[in-house]
Chains A and B, each alone.
Chain A
Amino acid sequence: MNFDPQPIDIAESLKNWGIIFGVLLTLGLSIGFLLSAILNTKDGISRYFVGLGEGMQDTFGMSCRRIGAIVRLTVKESVRRKALLVFVVFAILFMFGGWFLSNVNERDELQLGVYVSFVLKAISWLVLPVALLLSCWSIPEDIRLRSLHTVVTKPVRRSEIVVGRVLGFSVIGSLIVGIMSGLGYIWILRQVPPTVGDKLIARVPVYGKLSFLDRQGLDAKSGVNTGDINEFRSYIEGASKARAIWRFEGLSDDALRTNPENQQPELLIENNFQAFRTHKGEINQVLNYQLTLVNDAKKLRVALPSFPVQEFGENLRWIPRELSYYDEEAQASKQVDLFDLVDEDGKLTMEIACVDAGQFLGMAQPDMFVRLPDRSFASTFFKSALGIWMMMALIIVLGVTASTFVKGPVATLLTFTLVLFGAPAHGFLNDLVSGKVKRGGLIESGIGILTHANPNVDSQAGGTGITKGVDRAMSGFVWGVSHLVPDFSQFRYTEYSARGFDVPMKSAILPGVFLLLGFLLPCFLLAYFSLKLRELEAK
């Protein structure tokens, strides 16, 4: 993995959501109150509270039957608008995709990822534009053709129209995603070369916390940078005291899996280290690493035999229950049970050393993990499809919401912009707020530009305490905005499936689910009140 999956902090997320939702709700209610009081001089205040009351009634008094009717209507309408023609494009893509994707010179295992990425990307590129266009154009079209006028005069609440539309499009979208995923899955199974068929799996990793010791054996923030621009991995020096130390938690008997060679339950470790040579050494031999299992409390150090590093490939290491090792203090060979090295609360420490003098081994936190029993490829593939579905659902929510207060083309443009720039903008705004961007404050950077100050050198040249204080206040606003722009990258699970990993619940699926749910209520309220206040007969 070239990225480090971070588990979601549910309490923190809920707190952030509460703050932003609370502020927006208060702002919305206050502005509504003021406008109502100013525009309707006589009974403005009472009409405001009546409106709020109706809103509550419309929200809590929704009828499933009426919503169901609108859902049916929406589905029929979508079919009539030829939304299902997307299957024709899908069929063409998949009939001929294999011609362009299969490369006889490519290593089979490298091709796996290409096939999986192709299928998932094709599904999202076909489904998302359809969802976007359907959701953005339906209500404005209803208003233009005055069919909505006919609906609202019936005993149908406007909240039901919003919910019905969202659910209706979600149904048609789910149908498309479901069928495409199923066909895509079968297509992958048929396309993948039989030699690597067994590599179509979902690995379930347990990641540990990584720390480093430098060449003197002292704690270090990271290893050595050997000149890579990408600092994701850092390196430890061979035949020195430099170590990479992983601390795993929550390990128990369940982590053991059957070693196919001896049919014994063993612990499977997978790693993917990178080699860096400062001298040629033995050209035809790869570098080696040594793994030592450590239990400081019991003063146990079990060094396992050294192991060759196969770069950019699958390095599997089976650790048996019964370990024999050489006790240097007692100067004798001993036996120890693997779980004697594991703490009571399931903690296990593993130290990695580079064996070859003058050479370096590079690693990052996700480069070594305990591999639990694999899951089927279907599980990771359909979880990725779930990610596409959630992305589609959020686009529908945003599209329907936008279409309640602007016309179709504008709503399309608005939603499209959010989708296209959501993820990069979110990343940039987050970097601004978290201080990753040096001198990120507006005034501070402005002063820096005018005075030609170098942000890496002149740390004090960016302004005084007052300007920094103003910048801090502004960054609070940026923080709020950054949370208003949905981060669509949260739904992208393709990388996991393409690399043969299971899509993790805590660091991938839950953040996606929370993101979707987080936008549901605010969007519903916005859409409902927009539709309620909108002049429906206007063209």
Chain B
Amino acid sequence: MNNLSSKQRKLLYFVVIVVLTAPIIYLGAPSAGEGRSTGGKLAQIRIQEELGESTLGQVDPASSTMNLVLLGMRGIASSMLWSQAQTQQENKDWAGLRATTESIIMLQPHFLAVWEYQGWNLAYNVSAEWDDVRDRYYWVKEGLKFFMRGTERNRKYPELVWRVGNVSGAKVGRSDEWRYFRQYFRKDPDAARYNDGPDPAINPNNLDNYLVSKEWFQRANDLEEQPGIEQHLMQKMLFRTYPSRAQFDYADVLHRENRITEESRIAWDEAYEMWTTKFGREIFDSPGGQIILEFTEEDLKMLMERENNKFPLDVKRKWTSSYQDRCQYRYWRTLAAAESLEITRDAHRRINDGKELFWESRYVQSEKDRADGKGPETWGALEHLEDGMRKFEQVLNDFPTLASEDDAIEESLMALVYWREIFKLRKQPIPDDYPLRSMWEKHQDRVPEMELNFRRDIPISNRD
């Protein structure tokens, strides 16, 4: 073959090895650690461009090994697993689905869509398949925990952090089962495992679900503020409303649950503060330059100076107003201001008490009343409702923007439906003059819907 002796060949091999090693070391030497510019060329570029596993989030050794072992087959393997997960879902094999999901995230730990899709799937779709409300809650928790793990594995996706806030807020607090879910959030149905407390994985400080949601939304906002990080869910301004919106939801749910106490007043005050002094004072970019939603004339001047008067004052005003409309800025501000007042809270309280008394007098106490020859009016439902309606009318007069909002219309009409029902029970005519009459006449088209809601309020055991 050639004239070299065995020894010479070995020496030649050694020299070739050394020569080839040099560029490999130059290119591929490992980094000394995150943030340091030592290491090979590739390591340096990886740090510079933030492409390393550790810069994306927590590194799972099993996941990295799996990807390495599969060589280039990761795509095929994950596609097969997605298909398998789909089949398992169709066959209602939930344990199998959960296990397959684990395998998928092992293969695709930094693929945002995997986390978003499967987390949503567990919290919404899988949970809805179960009949027992406790089981449904279990799967909502599974979805939440899945999103939380996603945030640990991916530190640069504000979307995932936002999802945790969204599920703990909207899913727990707004779904059909919200009354139960909210209770379970503070006191897990698996009492033996969690010592009559919450599941620490999702609610370590035993807070209201909306307050937990607020914390996560705030974290999402903090993350989104960092340089080089973006969220792709919605317009930036809307994204940044969420911590305050969670505070609004918290204050609102206290009213929904008729917990109209000092706690609810503080909640509304805080919501007002957050909305006007925190979110409202943020600077956003708009086609009319930088804007501030809660602005003063000085603010406008300052912004114009900053931009060297590139945008005239009227353009800036127009875009500020447009952005305020997009996030219903003025409505929320007014609502918070109104709800902080004692008269508003009293109005809600009286209406809610009136409704509760209505059912008590109608179904719980009616036999006793009948024995005494008395009717539902004895329980004060009418007085409570009338007083509440009167106060609510006054609030709407003081804050006219609220009168055109759904929540106010519904509350007014529902109170009126109850109030009119008492007259029906008494077999008395409806008086000509009564509080909130203008609302009743203006929104006649919504009355059938409210009457349906009234029938839904009837405790099932008492339905005729």
Give the interface of A toward B (CB within 8 A). 2, 100, 105-107, 110, 113-114, 228-230, 232, 274-275, 277, 280-284, 286-287, 309-312
Contacts and interface: CB of A to CB of B under 8 A. Distances in A.
A105 B145 contact: yes
8 contacts: A2-B91, A105-B141, A228-B90, A232-B91, A280-B176, A311-B130, A312-B94, A312-B130
A105 B92 contact: no
A25 B133 CA distance: 63
Nearest to B199: A105
Contacts of B133: 283-284
Q: Is the interface of B mostly helix, strand, loop or mixed?
A: helix
B131 A277 contact: yes
A311 B132 contact: yes
A310 B142 CA distance: 19
A232, A277, A280, A311 — most chain B CB neighbours (10 Å): A311
B62 A110 contact: no
A240 to B, nearest CB: 19
B180 A311 contact: no
Interface in B123-139: 130-133, 135, 138
B460 interface: yes
Contacts of A229: 90
Contacts, number: 48
B98 interface: yes
B95 A114 contact: yes
A274 B460 CA distance: 23
Nearest to A312: B94
Interface in B87-119: 90-95, 98-99
Nearest to B192: A195
Nearest to A273: B131
Contacts of B17: none
B131 A113 contact: no
Contact of A275 (B98, B131, B177): B131
B344 to A, nearest CB: 30
B180 A283 contact: yes
Nearest to B136: A283
Contacts of B93: 2
Contact of B92 (A113, A284, A287, A312): A312
B95 A311 contact: no
Nearest to B135: A311
A230 B90 contact: yes
A282 B132 contact: no
B176 A274 contact: no
A100 B201 contact: no
B131 A286 contact: yes
Contacts of A277: 131
Contacts of B201: 105
B131 A230 contact: no
A284 B145 contact: no
Nearest to A233: B92
Given A110-B98, A277-B131, A312-B135, 16 more contacts: A105-B141, A105-B145, A106-B98, A110-B95, A114-B95, A230-B90, A230-B92, A274-B92, A274-B131, A275-B131, A282-B460, A283-B133, A287-B131, A309-B131, A311-B131, A312-B130
Interface string B425-461: 0000000000000000000000000000000000010
Nearest to B178: A283
B318 to A, nearest CB: 46
A274 B177 CA distance: 19
Give me the 6 closest cross-chain CB pairs, A-B, nearest first.
Answer: A275-B131, A110-B95, A229-B90, A230-B90, A286-B132, A286-B131
A147 to B, nearest CB: 33
Nearest to B461: A282
Nearest to A499: B95
A105 B138 CA distance: 10
B88 to A, nearest CB: 10
Contacts of B132: 286, 310-311
Contact of B176 (A110, A114, A283, A311): A283
Contacts of A275: 131
B132, B133, B145 — most chain A CB neighbours (10 Å): B132
B98, B130, B131 — most chain A CB neighbours (10 Å): B131
A114 B141 CA distance: 20
Interface string B164-204: 00000000000011001000000000000000000001000
Contacts of A100: 62
Contact of B99 (A2, A107, A114): A114
B169 to A, nearest CB: 20
A107 B189 CA distance: 13
B131 A105 contact: no
B93, B95, B177 — most chain A CB neighbours (10 Å): B95
Nearest to B95: A110
Interface in B59-102: 62, 90-95, 98-99
B425 to A, nearest CB: 25
Contacts of B142: 105
Contacts of B94: 110, 312
Nearest to B177: A283
A454 to B, nearest CB: 24
A230 B91 contact: yes
A453 B193 CA distance: 60
A491 to B, nearest CB: 20
B102 to A, nearest CB: 8
Contacts of B145: 105
Contacts of B177: 283
A365 to B, nearest CB: 16
A97 to B, nearest CB: 11
Nearest to A105: B145
A232 B87 CA distance: 13
Contacts of B130: 311-312
A309 B133 CA distance: 12
A110 B98 CA distance: 10
B93 to A, nearest CB: 7
Contacts of A228: 90
A465 to B, nearest CB: 39
Contacts of A309: 131
B69 to A, nearest CB: 14
A228, A229, A312 — most chain B CB neighbours (10 Å): A312
